[in-house]
Structure 1
Amino acid sequence: MSTHNPGFATLAVHAGAQPDPATGARTTPIYQTTSFVFESADHAAALFGLQQFGNIYTRIMNPTQAVLEERVAALEGGAAALAVASGHAAQMLVFHTIMQPGDNFLAARKLYGGSINQFGHAFKNFGWEVRWADPADPASFESQIDERTKGIFIESLANPGGTFVDIAAIAEVAQKNGLPLIVDNTMASPYLLRPLEHGADIVVHSLTKFLGGHGNSMGGMIVDGGTFDWSQSGRYPMLSEPRPEYAGVELHKTFGNIAFAIACRVLGLRDLGPAISPFNAFMILTGIETLPLRMQRHCDNALAAATWLKAHEKVSWVSYSGLEDDPNHALQQQYAPKGSGAVFTFGLKGGYEAGKTFVEGLQMFSHLANIGDTRSLVIHPASTTHRQLSEEQQVAAGAGPDVVRLSIGIEDPADIIADLEQSLAKI
Structure 2
Amino acid sequence: MGAQEDAGFSTRQVHVGASTATASPRATPIYLTAGFTFSDLDESAAHFATGSGFGYSRTGNPTVHAVEERIASLEGGDQAILVSSGQAAVTVALLGLAGAGDHLVVSEHIYEGTRGLLLDNLARLGIETTFVDTSDLDAWRDAITPRTKALFAETLSNARNDVLDVAAVSAIGAERGIPLVVDSTFTTPYLLRPLEHGAAVVVHSASKFLAGQGAVLGGVIIDDGRFDAAASGHLFPHLAHSDRLGGPSYAEKYGRRARGQYLRESVAPRFGPSPSPLNAFLIGQGVETLSLRMERQSANALAVARWLEARPEVERVDYVGLPSHPHHALGRRYLTRGSGSVFTVTLRGGLDAARHVVQSVRLITHMTHLGDVRSLILHPQSTSHSGRTVAERELAGVFPGTVRLSIGIEDVDDLVADLDQALDSVASVATGGRRTDAGTRGSEREVVVL
What range is the shorter-chain TM-score in?
Answer: over 0.9
Provide the C-alpha distance between the structure 1 equivalents of 2:266 and 2:394, rounded to a whole number of angstroms. Answer: 38
Matched residues, number:
406
* Aligned position for 1:115: 114
* Aligned position for 1:4: none
SS at match of 1:121: helix
* Aligned position for 1:28: 28
SS at match of 1:341: coil
* More off after superposition, 39-48 vs 128-137: 39-48
* Aligned position for 1:43: 43
Normalised TM-score (structure 2): 0.87
User: Which structure 2 residues correspond to residues 154-303 of structure 1 after superposition, within 5 A?
Assistant: 154-230=153-229, 232=231, 233-244=233-244, 248-303=247-302
Q: Partner letter of residue 254 of structure 2?
A: F
Q: Are the counterparts in 2 of residues 391 and 401 from structure 1 also a CA contact under 8 Å?
A: no
Q: Work out which of the two has the higher radius of gyration on C-alpha atoms and give 1 or 2.
A: 2
SS at match of 2:317: strand
* More off after superposition, 257-266 vs 101-110: 257-266
SS at match of 2:343: strand
Q: Are the counterparts in 1 of residues 227 and 255 from structure 2 also a CA contact under 8 Å?
A: no
Q: Are the counterparts in 2 of residues 79 and 257 from structure 1 also a CA contact under 8 Å?
A: no
Q: Are the counterparts in 1 of residues 226 and 257 from structure 2 also a CA contact under 8 Å?
A: no
* Off by >6 Å, runs of 4+ in structure 1: none
1:163-215 superposed Cα distances (whole Å, 9 cap, x missing partner) = 22111111111111210010111000010110011110000000001111110
Q: Are the counterparts in 2 of residues 361 and 426 from structure 1 also a CA contact under 8 Å?
A: no
Cα drift, residue 310 of structure 1 = 0.2
* Aligned position for 1:349: 348
* Aligned position for 1:131: 130
Provide the C-alpha distance between the structure 1 equivalents of 2:35 and 2:140, rounded to a whole number of angstroms. Answer: 44
Cα drift, residue 21 of structure 1 = 10
Normalised TM-score (structure 1): 0.92
* Aligned position for 2:99: 100
Q: Are the counterparts in 1 of residues 77 and 222 from structure 2 also a CA contact under 8 Å?
A: yes
Change (3 A) 1:26 1:235: same
Q: Are the counterparts in 1 of residues 217 and 279 from structure 2 also a CA contact under 8 Å?
A: yes
Unaligned runs of 5+ in 2: 1-19, 427-450
Provide the C-alpha distance between the structure 2 equivalents of 1:88 and 1:343, rounded to a whole number of angstroms. Answer: 19
Provide the C-alpha distance between the structure 1 equivalents of 2:60 and 2:393, rounded to a whole number of angstroms. Answer: 38
Provide the C-alpha distance between the structure 2 equivalents of 1:21 and 1:149, rounded to a whole number of angstroms. Answer: 54
* More off after superposition, 152-161 vs 314-323: 152-161
Q: Are the counterparts in 2 of residues 97 and 238 from structure 1 also a CA contact under 8 Å?
A: no
Cα drift, residue 244 of structure 1 = 2.7
Identical columns (%): 40
SS at match of 1:143: helix
SS at match of 1:244: coil
Q: Are the counterparts in 2 of residues 152 and 182 from structure 1 also a CA contact under 8 Å?
A: yes
Change (3 A) 1:38 1:323: same
* More off after superposition, 115-124 vs 341-350: 115-124
Unaligned runs of 5+ in 1: 1-19
Cα drift, residue 118 of structure 1 = 1.5
Provide the C-alpha distance between the structure 1 equivalents of 2:208 and 2:157, rounded to a whole number of angstroms. Answer: 14
* Aligned position for 2:308: 309
* Aligned position for 2:332: 333
